[in-house]
Amino acid sequence: MTSSPTDSSSPRRPAVGRRAVLGAAAAASAPALLGLSAPASAAPASATPAAAPAAAPSPRKRPRALPGGGDLGPNVIVFDPSTPGIQAKLDEVFKKQESAQFGTGRYALLFKPGTYHGLNAQIGFYTSIAGLGLSPDDTTINGDVTVDAGWFDGNATQNFWRSAENLAIVPVSGTNRWAVAQAAPFRRMHVRGGLNLAPDGYGWASGGYIADSRIDGQVGPYSQQQWYTRDSAIGGWLNAVWNMVFSGVEGAPAQSFPDPPYTTLDTTPVSREKPFLYLDGGDYRVFLPEKRTNARGVTWGNGTPRGTSLPLSQFYVAKPGVTAATLNQALAQGLHLLLTPGIYHLDQPVQVNRADTVVLGLGYATLIPDNGVTALKVADVDGVRLAGFLIDAGPVNSATLLEVGPQGASADHSANPTTVQDVFIRIGGAGPGKATTSMVINSRHTIVDHTWVWRADHGDGVGWETNRADYGVRVNGDDVLATGLFVEHFNKYDVQWYGQRGRTIFFQNEKAYDAPNQAAIQNGSVKGYAAYKVADSVTAHEGWGLGSYCYYNVDPSIVQHHGFAAPDTAGVTFHHLLVVSLSGNGQYEHVINDTGSPTSGTSTVPSTVVSYP
């Protein structure tokens, strides 16, 4: 995702075109704009290699047991209503993080239950703000939790890697501004007013994700090109640009794709909210929400949410600088992992072998695999919860960065699936990085709930071969559900789906900007690799609200045959597909397979398919 300058000829209306290369001039004004209608169970020993040294004869002593619990480190800043200088501290963190897109700072701002007055918490890069109650309404800010784009001349298309969670907000003006792009979740929030998803001046924006939240007033996306809202309640929704998707949302607009482009599902088939840290008296615990089927609305509407909790003493509280061996020792002891904000270099995979293990990051804790290893691997066990961290590829190519289940995983996890939530992956941007396949899902019934898997198109270490990454997400397991899937810029396929009965609700994609020529993306006899490819062997698959965009700015003559490819069989169905050529930099010939009209010229108007086949 890169930026496109605002159309200066129409300062009061947001331009619709998408990101151009950083610093590039605007290609053209975009007429097809907002279209505002009226404005711990133990694993078998064989699955736990980290425990093997203890059983083998050795003169060495068993490692001393690691402690659970402990302090959360210097980059977790905890406030209570009596804390002096809260606004000054918020401003201090924001000043460091406002434009630090590829910096090393990581922060979690945590508010104890109570009421806070007169605050404006501006949220910059790698900053998470959260309440510490069981319900958002336990922690009320009479003020704002703000994301804007002043640092980038009013363009919000690079407002990545930040989050808000578990707070009630009473906005000063009646409306809170949350102008974000990818990897910026808004979870378990109660906005006692409206929510504006556009930057000041209504410049370009490219988000976004809301879950388990209640917005009492209207949500105004304005210039947001796409958005996914899940299991929430809203007072209304103002408009749509290209692709707005809702599942399980009370108050969502009626389904009307493609005009306006609303995809609305009454319920979400399966969901389980993200784990979160909270205070029980003076003690920290981690709440584990229960699984819901055919979910609709928030989990906390009647007070205490349903689920279980764990004391912090059952977590190894990791600090930056800890080794992968220590993290694995903690897991082998039966501890969960709480990753405090910072950067963690790994010389071996973090290996999660025990059912129901929680790996929870705070403040965008970042894992960097060294020497081509995989950052994290999960065994074929029930109920693992991965949440709230970033994996940054290292300069030596990794075959994979995240593996959920080993190759050939086949156990039935329908009663207690593994969830991957707000786990983001980046290849390049903060420096050279390479990975053949970023995320591999082998375990059945896995739920991937909000991810951004991004081969960088700007920053350091960026180039067609410099941050080579052929494949984004590969799903081998059956019965996998993706809710909020953002995958961009891979050299070949962005998503490959081999498992049966897979489902995706909302997909956002850009093809790689930097392909040097047509030959570089040629896929046999096919022009270009589809953004989302369902394998020919698949007999059952379904998707709702999927979009792919191209911006081949190095060679604008490149032609992409289609955005989506799937077998022509009755069990493989899609609803509400679109492809967009951004200002004519490359074109699509079709939407899916050989179906759908080509994009044309520089119009930046989507070509759509309402249903397939």
pLDDT mean over 470-486:
98
Count of beta carbons in the 10 Å neighbourhood of residue 352: 25
pLDDT at residue number 62: 72
- Structure tokens belonging to residue 291: 């699984």
Q: Which of 290, 510, 542, 589 is catalytic?
A: 510
CA distance 605 to 375: 39
Query: Which DSSP category does 254 fall into?
Result: P
- Burial class from Cβ neighbours inside 10 Å (0-12, 13-18, 19+) for residue 85 reads exposed
Strand partners, 534: 497
Is the pLDDT reported for residue 32 higher than 50? Answer: no
91, 258, 462 from 610: Cα distances, Å: 46, 7, 36
Side chain identity at residue 246, one-letter code: F
CA distance 9 to 323: 54
Secondary structure element (H or E) that encloses residue 559, with its range? strand 559-560
pLDDT at residue number 98: 98
Q: With helix as H, strand as E and coil as C, how does 192-228 read?
A: CCEEECCCCCCCCECCCEEECCEEEEEEECCCECEEE
Give per-residue pLDDT as tens, 306-356. Answer: 999 999 999 999 999 999 999 999 999 999 999 999 999 999 999 999 999
Is the pLDDT reported for residue 102 higher than 80? Answer: yes
- Burial class from Cβ neighbours inside 10 Å (0-12, 13-18, 19+) for residue 256 reads middle
- Told to judge if 403 belongs to the known catalytic residues of this protein, a careful annotator would answer no
Give per-residue pLDDT as tens, 180-213. Answer: 999 999 999 999 999 999 999 999 999 999 999 9
pLDDT at residue number 20: 35
Is the pLDDT reported for residue 36 higher than 70? Answer: no
- Structure tokens belonging to residue 133: 């109650």
pLDDT mean over 476-505:
98
Phi-psi region of 577 (alpha: psi -120 to 50; beta: other; left: phi over 0): beta
pLDDT mean over 268-297:
98
Count of beta carbons in the 10 Å neighbourhood of residue 543: 26
585 close to 545: Cβ distance less than 8 angstroms: no
HSE value, Cβ hemisphere, 13 Å, CA-based, for 594: 2
The answer to whether the pTM exceeds 0.85 is: yes
Backbone angles phi, psi at 521, to 5 degrees: -115, 5
Give per-residue pLDDT as tens, 40-72. Answer: 333 333 333 333 344 454 556 677 999 999 999
pLDDT at residue number 302: 80
Q: With helix as H, strand as E and coil as C, how does 501-531 read?
A: CEEEEEEEEECCCCCCCHHHHEECCEECCCC
CA distance 144 to 150: 16
Give per-residue pLDDT as tens, 528-538. Answer: 999 999 999 99
Backbone angles phi, psi at 520, to 5 degrees: -65, -25
CA 475, 435, 370, 451 torsion-angle sign? negative
- Structure tokens belonging to residue 395: 């300069």
Please tell me which residue, 472 or 19, carries the higher pLDDT value. Answer: 472
CA distance 292 to 290: 6
475 close to 496: Cβ distance less than 8 angstroms: yes
Q: With helix as H, strand as E and coil as C, how does 113-128 read?
A: CEEEEEEEEECCCCEE
For the chain, percent of residues with pLDDT exceeding 90:
88
Query: Which DSSP category does 255 fall into?
Result: P
Phi-psi region of 247 (alpha: psi -120 to 50; beta: other; left: phi over 0): beta
Side chain identity at residue 266, one-letter code: D
CA distance 229 to 209: 6
- Structure tokens belonging to residue 154: 């009013």
pLDDT at residue number 60: 62
pLDDT at residue number 301: 87
In what side-by-side order are the strands of the sheet with 307-311? 276-280, 283-289, 307-311
196 close to 176: Cβ distance less than 8 angstroms: yes
Task: Evaluate the omega torsion of the peptide bond into residue 383 and state whether it is cis, within 30 degrees of 0.
Answer: no
pLDDT mean over 478-490:
98
Question: Which residues, 6+ apart, have CB-to-CB distance to 531 below 8 Å?
Answer: 487, 493, 494, 495, 507, 509, 511, 548, 563, 564
Count of beta carbons in the 10 Å neighbourhood of residue 260: 18
Is the pLDDT reported for residue 172 higher than 80? Answer: yes
E-state strands within 340-470: 343-346, 350-352, 358-369, 376-378, 385-392, 398-404, 419-427, 435-441, 447-455
Give per-residue pLDDT as tens, 129-156. Answer: 999 999 999 999 999 999 999 999 999 9
Is the pLDDT reported for residue 449 higher than 90? Answer: yes
